[in-house]
Each structure stands twice: as structure tokens, then as C-alpha cells.
Structure 1
Amino acid sequence: MFEPYLTKWTLQPDGAPIHTPGSDLLPVRFDGLPAMLKIARDSEEKVGALVMRWWGGEGAARVYRHEGDALLLERATGPASLIRMALEGEDDQASRIACATIARLHAPRPAPAPELVTLEAWFRSLWPVARRQGGLFAEAAGVARELLGSQREVVVLHGDVHHENVLDFGERGWLAIDPKRVIGDRGYDYANLICNPELPTVTQPARFARQVEVIAEASGLGRERLLRWVLAYAGLSAAWFLEDGDAESAESDMRVARLAAEALDR
């Protein structure tokens, strides 16, 4: 699958292939530069390539080439890692770096944005789970409906900001990869930094309280608005995990949702 593009774009393989549920990737060299050749296999990844192009390398990896399902990207080669920072005593700094990157992504661009999914449609998986299960899912759904009905600062969203989608690009700084295809209130993009189930400390009450404080300040959202987006997003993420049969990750999200609901009640 890589060969046609290796030839067409004069690329040299520079590592082993990487296979994810949505794409196939190959580290390569392009004009002597480290790059990543990505072949999308699902519609979300294909639209994500259009978002990457639209960002124009500001806050995100540069796009060197794009044709059909194939995307040639600038490759991160810096040594630092946000998830490692978060686990080794630099959680505050990791969150501030991610927030600064999100702000760059949300900045206006001169070109029209690609056609994207609205945030209202993005939340569609939450509603049936809330009707079936009630309780905290219903509370998350109620808050989500209120937020969706009163959106402000509507921007092209990354849609999946977490500690492994913001990478160290050396002299170019911290840049995002792997966006989704959604547009809506900018508050949505900050919630996953607190909910990220790949981070083992995510359900710790002290970590939660501290990162709400750090991210509310760094994002300019304020504490209550951030907490409401966290509650809404955690319910949605849990609903997605239930659709995938991953009850353990869904429970992690609902523990975060509970922390957000309790903090809003104080």
C-alpha cells in the first residue's frame, strides 16, 4: 500500500510500519527530512487530513503532500512526551503545553474550513445511553444539551486532544496530530486532558482538582464552564466505550464524570 507513494513522492523508508484501527503509517525521509506517510482507512481519518491541511502547520504538523487517502506529514522527533511528563511530576506543565497548542489550533485561518460534523451530531451516542441508564449518564446528557444549545466561540475543533496527540517537534515546538472532523464550542477540546483514560492518574480526586484549576486558567474558560464540558464529554466518551464493549474504560470516564458533577455541586 505504501509503494506507489514511495515512488511518486521520492520517499525513503525510515522505520517499521505502524498499523492503527483507522490508518497505516510508515516513517520515511522526504528531501532528507523526517516524515510520516499515512494511508487512511476510514472516513474520519480522511477528513482529518483535510483539517491538517487547513491548519497549515500552525499548531499542527506540516502537511508535505496529500493525495486521495495518502498524507505525508512532518514527523515528530523531539525527545519529550506529555504523558511521561504527566506521570513524572510535570502534570501542570503538560496541561499548559496542551492548552497552548489548542489555542493555536483554534486561531482563525484565512481559508474556508472544510465541511465538518457539528458538535450536536458528535454527541449522538450519548442520548440513547442516557435514556437507558439514567443517573449520571442522564446528568451528563442534560449538561451536554445545555452546552450545545448555548455554544460560543465556535471553532474548528481537534476533537481528540490527549497527551499522545500533542507531540514534541523539536525546534518547531509542540504540535498536534490526528484531528477528528468536528466544529463547535472551543470548550470541548479541553475536556479530554482531564478525562484521558490512557493516563492512570486520571481518576485521582487530587489530580482532577488540580488539573481543573490549571486548565481553567490556561484555557481562559473558567472553572464552571470547564467542569460542565468535562461532565458532558466524560458521558459521551463512556458511551463510545460502551459501544465498543470496553466497560472498564467507560467506568474510568464515569468516575471522572462523578468528580465533575460533585465539583459543580460545591
Structure 2
Amino acid sequence: MTAPGFRIPARLQDTVRRWTDGAGEAWLTALPRLAAESLARWDLVLERVCEPGGQISLVLLVRRADGTPAALKIGYPHPEGAQEHAALTHWDGHGAVRLLESAPEDGTLLLERLNSEVPLLSLPEGKAMLEALGALRLLWVAPPEQHDFTLVADYVQGLREALARRRDLPAAAELLPLVDEALELSAALLADATTRDERLLLHGDYHHGNVLAAERSPWLAIDPKPLVGERAYDLAWLVQDRLETLAGSPGPEAAARRRLHRLADDAAVDRDRLRGWTLFRTVEAGLWSLDVGDTQHASLYLEFAAMI
């Protein structure tokens, strides 16, 4: 089988190499072969590579045999994305991109084509937050009765263990009060969650960059890392969106708290639970970024966590 000729986006190469500590090199080498197999499997014609594309996925713009435009996504294999196809199947285009075909064993999905050049990031923040919450509400549905989605409680326990290990990083020496608060809050949230029994299908990685304009709906979500749990956990990642803009605004601390309170009230979730999950997820992301050498994002995450 002849591999298609295309250039792997620089961002994809960079993030896979940095985030996988060299383990992703074999996958990058195999990408042309994986693409050729998928193009042949579903009788697709390659148009072009989507640039810059995903951080850990190759996205090819293609046409199906009947001329319909579509997007072929080949993702780096990782546990968080293993159930993307199952979530998209369950949503069936309601609030999210529609799944056309899938080969989950290869991390390959054929998706309806959205307007990748018009994410919610293209809108002013206030309008984007309003649209984002409206689209996210559509995704919060009951999971299938028999499902394999990871529960928030199980996933967070793994994150807590990793955060506790990264607490000893030399660069985290001055962050111990913030890290300890994140660990304490997450433990309390998990303990209390057992009495709430809010088990909804969550996106898991919901932010303005993961919501694109579409023809059949104004906005549709992409790239879920699905979990089952409470809405406040899902909403937390939206609270810390556009950190660069927030950090540069007048009175960023007050602006961060206003954003958190507004989203909590609009989504009818408890403010304290949303703050707790936001703090935990942001601190965890900050120390993970420190661990992989991404000091720029680590600084933004940790500054925001201190604000709230």
C-alpha cells in the first residue's frame, strides 16, 4: 500500500515528542501507513492536512466516495481518548461532531467535517462563554445503561496520586500550600460525590478550542476525553479558559472569580464545588506542565489557581 504524501504538522511532532518522552516516535513514523490504510478502508480521497491540527492527533480533510466532505482523525493512542468513539456514538451528533466510521483499535475516526478555522476562540470572551455553556448542556446526558466509560472518581484518584508524586518536584517547592489545598479539596469532593449520585456523560476536555462552527448547528464539540460524573467537574476546564487574556486584563483576580461565579450560576451548579474542581484541575495541569518542561503553561495555570 502506498503511503499518501503529506507533511506531519510541526505542532503534532513537537507535542508528541515532548509529552511522550520519546515513546511517540514510532507512532509518528507509522502515521503515513495508518493514513493510507484508513483512506483505503473507507474509500476516501485526501484533500489536505488540517493545520495546525490537533496537539496529539493528525487530522486530514478528505472526501468520501459520494463526494461528501469529512475529516479523518488519527490520534496518538492514550487511555483518555480510548472511549472517544463511544461517546460520539452515544451523542450521535447532538451537541458534538458526528461520527461516521471508526477503527478504535487504530485510534482512527472518520468525522463529519466542521469549520476548523472558526472555533469559539474566534468570538469575544463573553459571547464565547455563553455559546460554550449552551453547547455543553447538550452533552450532559445519561450514559448508556451498560458502558465502559471511566468514572470521574476513578480518574481523579489517578490524578491525585500523580499530583502527590509531583509535589516533590524541585520547581514545586514554593507551591506546596496550593498543591496541598488541591489534594484536600479533591478528596472532600470525591467523598461528598457519593451522596450526590450525579452520573452524566461528560466531555472531559471542554474549552473554546474544542468547539467548532458547523453547518447543521452553530457550534459542535470535538475531541472529547469522556468520563461519567458530575457537571461541576466538566465545567471546571471552561472556567480556566483563555488564561493569557485573563492574566492581562485589569484586576484579573476579580475577573477570574466573576467568571467562576457566573458559570456556576448559569449552569446551576454549586459555586464551592466548581471552585474546588477548578482549583484541582488547574493545579494538576500546572504541575504536569512543569514535569514535561512546559514552563509557560505551568505559570499560567498556577497563577490562575492562586487567583481563585
TM-score (norm 2): 0.74
| Number of residue pairs matched by the alignment | 255
Distance of 2:115 and 2:42 partners within structure 1: 21
Decide whether the 8 Å contact of 2:243 with 2:300 is kept in 1.
no
Shift of residue 73, structure 1, vs aligned partner: 0.6
Residue 102 of structure 2: aligned partner: 66
Residue 215 of structure 1: aligned partner: 263
* Structure 2: 5+ residue stretches without partners: 1-33
1:243–1:157 CA distance, 2 compared to 1 (3 A): farther
1:190–1:122 CA distance, 2 compared to 1 (3 A): farther
SS at match of 2:205: coil
SS at match of 2:302: helix
Residue 193 of structure 1: aligned partner: 238
Distance of 1:122 and 1:52 partners within structure 2: 24
Higher radius of gyration, 1 or 2: 2
1:199–1:170 CA distance, 2 compared to 1 (3 A): farther
Decide whether the 8 Å contact of 2:239 with 2:259 is kept in 1.
yes
1:112–1:209 CA distance, 2 compared to 1 (3 A): same
What letter corresponds to residue 180 of structure 2 in structure 1?
Answer: A
Distance of 1:115 and 1:9 partners within structure 2: 27
Residue 113 of structure 2: aligned partner: 75
SS at match of 1:140: helix
Task: Say if 2:165 is the partner of 1:128.
Answer: yes
1:226–1:246 CA distance, 2 compared to 1 (3 A): same
* Structure 1: 5+ residue stretches without partners: 261-266
Distance of 2:81 and 2:155 partners within structure 1: 17
1:2–1:111 CA distance, 2 compared to 1 (3 A): farther
Shift of residue 82, structure 1, vs aligned partner: 1.4
1:111–1:63 CA distance, 2 compared to 1 (3 A): farther
SS at match of 2:303: helix
The runs of at least 4 aligned residues of structure 1 exceeding 6 Å deviation read none
Decide whether the 8 Å contact of 1:54 with 1:113 is kept in 2.
no
1:236–1:177 CA distance, 2 compared to 1 (3 A): same
SS at match of 1:15: strand
1:104–1:28 CA distance, 2 compared to 1 (3 A): same
Distance of 1:48 and 1:228 partners within structure 2: 26
Mean Cα displacement is larger for which, 133-142 or 150-159?
Answer: 150-159
Deviations along 1:174-211, one digit per CA (max 9) or x if unpaired, are 11111114333221111112223x54113333431332
Shift of residue 59, structure 1, vs aligned partner: 1.5
TM-score (norm 1): 0.85
Distance of 2:189 and 2:141 partners within structure 1: 21
Decide whether the 8 Å contact of 1:113 with 1:156 is kept in 2.
no
What are the residue-to-residue correspondences of 1:109-258 with 2, within 5 Å?
109-110=143-144, 112-116=146-150, 118-124=154-160, 125-130=162-167, 133=173, 134-151=176-193, 152=196, 153-196=198-241, 199-203=243-247, 204-258=252-306
Distance of 1:166 and 1:17 partners within structure 2: 16
Please give the root-mean-square deviation of Cα atoms over the aligned residues, in Å.
2.4
SS at match of 1:150: helix
Decide whether the 8 Å contact of 1:136 with 1:258 is kept in 2.
yes
Report percent identity of matched pairs. 31
Decide whether the 8 Å contact of 1:55 with 1:109 is kept in 2.
no
Distance of 1:14 and 1:181 partners within structure 2: 30
Distance of 1:206 and 1:34 partners within structure 2: 45
Distance of 2:145 and 2:99 partners within structure 1: 16
Deviations along 1:205-247, one digit per CA (max 9) or x if unpaired, are 3431332233112211143322222112111111221221212
Distance of 2:288 and 2:259 partners within structure 1: 24
Task: Say if 2:126 is the partner of 1:92.
Answer: yes
Decide whether the 8 Å contact of 1:131 with 1:138 is kept in 2.
no
Distance of 2:99 and 2:301 partners within structure 1: 33
Shift of residue 53, structure 1, vs aligned partner: 2.2
Task: Say if 2:93 is the partner of 1:57.
Answer: yes
Deviations along 1:21-45, one digit per CA (max 9) or x if unpaired, are 5322211123333211112221233
What letter corresponds to residue 292 of structure 2 in structure 1?
Answer: D
Distance of 2:37 and 2:58 partners within structure 1: 14
1:221–1:255 CA distance, 2 compared to 1 (3 A): same
Residue 69 of structure 2: aligned partner: 34
Shift of residue 64, structure 1, vs aligned partner: 0.3
1:184–1:17 CA distance, 2 compared to 1 (3 A): same
Mean Cα displacement is larger for which, 29-38 or 66-75?
Answer: 29-38
Which of 1 and 2 has higher RCO (CA within 8 Å, sep 6+)? 1
Deviations along 1:72-100, one digit per CA (max 9) or x if unpaired, are 01121276431121xxxx31221122112
